[in-house]
Amino acid sequence: MNWTILLAVEAAETAKEGGLFDLDATLPIMALQFLLLVVILNGVFYKPLGKAIDDREELVRTNILSARERLEKAQNLAKQYEQDLGETRKKAGETIAQAQAEAQKIAAAKVAEAQQEAQAQREQAQKEIDEQKQSAFSSLESEVAVLSRQILSKILGT
């Protein structure tokens, strides 16, 4: 306990010597040290750090602009490809329609040709049948005439 009292008394005596702010040479030296520390930190730490941050920001800004340009270019290419694809599909549809129309024309021509050929064959067959019928009638007439004479001669008895 004595020690604590002695320490308190000694602290009171030193407090009388200087107050909170002593106006001796320490204050300007401390101010100079602070300014020197600010200059050194600014040169060594803050400027390179600020430059690195600015460089990084510029890189990010450049990358964003480049990405936007590439995105816009890609979108334009996609639109162009879609237009080309639509035109190609349209041309393909037209080509298919033309091919189908030509195929139908060819089929119709073949059918008409076949019908004409069948009609011609039918007419030819009918003509041959008529000729054979006519020749059969004429041969029958002559045979009927011969048979009629024979029957008449047998009936009459000659």
User: Per-domain residue ranges for the chain?
Assistant: 32-156
Residue whose tokens read 């004595």: 2
Mind listing the pLDDT tens digit for each residue in 78-135? 999 999 999 999 999 999 999 999 999 999 999 999 999 999 999 999 999 999 989 8
Is pLDDT at 71 greater than 70 in this prediction?
yes
Is pLDDT at 23 greater than 80 in this prediction?
no
Q: What are phi and psi of 116, to 5 degrees?
A: -65, -45
Q: What pLDDT shows up at residue 28?
A: 80
Question: E-assigned strands of 22-96?
Answer: none
What's the whole-number average pLDDT of the chain?
Answer: 86
Which helix (H) or strand (E) is 157 found in, with range? none
| Cα–Cα nearest to 88, from 98, 96, 100, 77 | 96
Q: What pLDDT shows up at residue 64?
A: 96
Displacement of CA 85 from its chain's centroid (Å)? 8
Assign residue 157 a region: left if phi > 0, alpha if psi is -120 to 50, beta otherwise?
left
Q: What pLDDT shows up at residue 144?
A: 82
Assign residue 146 a region: left if phi > 0, alpha if psi is -120 to 50, beta otherwise?
alpha
Instruction: Please give the average per-residue pLDDT across 65-71, as a whole number.
Output: 96
